[in-house]
Structure 1
Amino acid sequence: MTHLAAPPTVQASMPSGLVALFAASSGVSVANVYYAQPLLDLMAADFGIPVGAAGAIVTATQVGSALALLLLVPLGDRMPRRRLMLMQLGVLCVALLCAASARSAAFLVGAMLVVGMLGTAMTQGLIAYAATAAAAGERGRVVGATQGGVVTGLLLARVLAGGIADLAGWRAMYLVSAAAMLGIGVLLWWRLPPQPAPVRPLPYGLLIRSMLALLRDERVLQIRGGIAFLMFAAFGIFWSALVLPLSAPPYGMSHTAIGAFGLAGVVGVLAASRAGRLADRGLGQRTSGAALALLVLAWVPLGLALTPSLALGMPARVALLALGIVALDLAVQALQVLNQSMIFAVRPEAHSRVVGCYMMFYAAGSGLGAVAGTAMYAVGGWAGVCLLGAGVGLAALAFWRMTRHWTA
């Protein structure tokens, strides 16, 4: 007698409200890492920090991001993610309140280090949570929506920080963020589906060593990580230094206006979505070369926009600056999509750790770029910043040309 097999269990589709919660929570979490960029001049003035050293505040958050990727993100393989998310969120709220109440530069930098750690850990943990909770047939849609929330939070962070700082000072931004994270925590506690702890979790030390082994052994990860390091260094150079000339004479823009330039990057993010489809067609390397060339060329309008000797009106300067921002963001976001499409082909059984390793290159590049950008502005002005950014872009292009045949 033939016995019919039981039909396979079909996992229910994730409700749209939960998808939106993952996206919004990721955006609000990652924004904490970027609020400081348009506020550097206010923070520097408040604590008497020299302009050339103000980038250390942003660097602290990026160092925290790197530490989170190495030390905190792997914890998702050892304990239930829901409990881990809520614990990390609570510590993040405390760190944000500490930043808002800081009375010394050292205390502020320490608080920003913790903000960077927990903001990054929350963001990457939510992406992993969404991917695990989604059914196999909808995983791309769910993760894509969550990643979209990350990019939106990154871009809008500068706009929101500038507006709130103009209304109530830079400290108010971190008070508002603490309240927002508390609200997100209530929603996550209410809506996050439970996930069991791994049946046989790897020891914590072994998890960390396995990430170091991936960095040592996987050539694709090394190469695309190197490109990520350089491209995000160029990105950090621009965004950390931009507030310095625009807030000073002769421009004297408000922090709201400066932060609004981040909205121009939305165009680049939308256009970069085509990069993934090009990679699927086997054009990833060719598209990488085009994006890296654009990363260099973007500095031409960015440099011209704020060159005092050019007889340009304010509308023309704003248009050039917006054009350069669109080009810069398009290049960076396209490269991010291409990099991830290539590294996801590496070690499918260790995707979360591969992504954690890759994002460490991103954090290191962003942090060093922030310091280099403000330091260069102090000695070379905006022209020096643009030359530095273009030079880093050229280095990334040269690195890609040298290594493009080393990976499949």
Structure 2
Amino acid sequence: MAEEQIDHSVFAYLFFAVLFILRGMEWSGAGFVELELVLLIASGAVFFLKIYHTYYSVKQWLLAFFLMVLCCIVYLFSGKQQPVLFVLIVFCLKDTSMEKLCHTICISSLIVMILSFYLMMMGIRENVVSVVNRSLFGIGYQEYRYALGFFHANTLFVYCFVAVTSYFFVHKLTRRGFWISLGMIGLVYNITKSRTGTLLLLLFIFCLIPEVRKWMERYMFNPLVPYLMMVYISSNLFFSFMYQYDADNWLNLLDKAMQQRISLSHYYLTKYSIKLWGQPVELSNWKMSSSLQTDFKMIDNSYVLMLINYGLIFTVLIMSLYFILLRRMCQNHQYKEVLLIIIMLVYGTTEVLVPNIFINYSLILVTGLLFPNQGDSIRGRPLIEGGSRI
């Protein structure tokens, strides 16, 4: 009887939290090999404990095996772990609460930010400073961006983005929470100068204001929304393919406004061919030091990187899951889920976060599609028990 009262889903939250912090420490460049090994072993232990205490049907085991084989092939060709981690995490998160998981994500992201800052203050990590040339009303100027222990300033803001959105995904937007979040966003923006992330985070909070939410719900659940998002994703690839360096048109103006992200995507699309199972992608001229970063060629578009790095099969798989997910959630009138997915997919244009289930935690919602609870109706309830019912 006592054993039945134990909530074995806690193992899933521990598994996700340990991997989240492990990935965060890797990104901040701590270099603690022994600690990473201990965390990896701990994550494996809680993973098997969760699987042992969870019921999976034969079809779900076969589906998990199929997806794991597919993603392992992608890993062998591309060298990327994210597809394998995606399958492991959604498989482990069956029968879990989205509310508790969002609390886990919020706390874990704050831990990573604090740990990164601590490592920088201790001199273990450097405060990488990058300089970017921008213009306002035709007047050019330079902005300095500080990473505070991460390898890039945008990475710092991404963790702030995850912390704030995951908190408000399960909590009502109060006046106090509104002003505290604005203060946190303003502080982190002043350090990182991350414009796109700031605008999208402010948009997310703005759409949670009750009056705005009532107005947005008139359009958010339109059956065309999933199709429009697929058109948006396709346009990312189309514009990158069609870009011409010497042309003087609106696409070049858009490229300048986006800090050459379209031209850089075009550079990698022409450098690498599209393959079914992906391939290794070398990011050229990347500098990582305390000196100013002014010369690098970085690909920031999630969809372009997924296509050339992860391959056509994995890209089509993820986009198909998102299409089905959006269509079902629009039918169920799940406002926060639809809002989160749209914001994350738009953010994927300027940051490589879509295939990363730790940062793009909207991917977790496909758990309800792939491994629904026994007897649950996907159409009649949130895809993960304890989802946003606020």
Structure-2-length-normalised TM-score: 0.30
The structure showing larger relative contact order (alpha-carbon pairs under 8 Å, at least 6 residues apart) is 1
Higher normalized strand content (fraction of residues) = 2
Higher normalized helix content (fraction of residues) = 1
Structure-1-length-normalised TM-score: 0.29
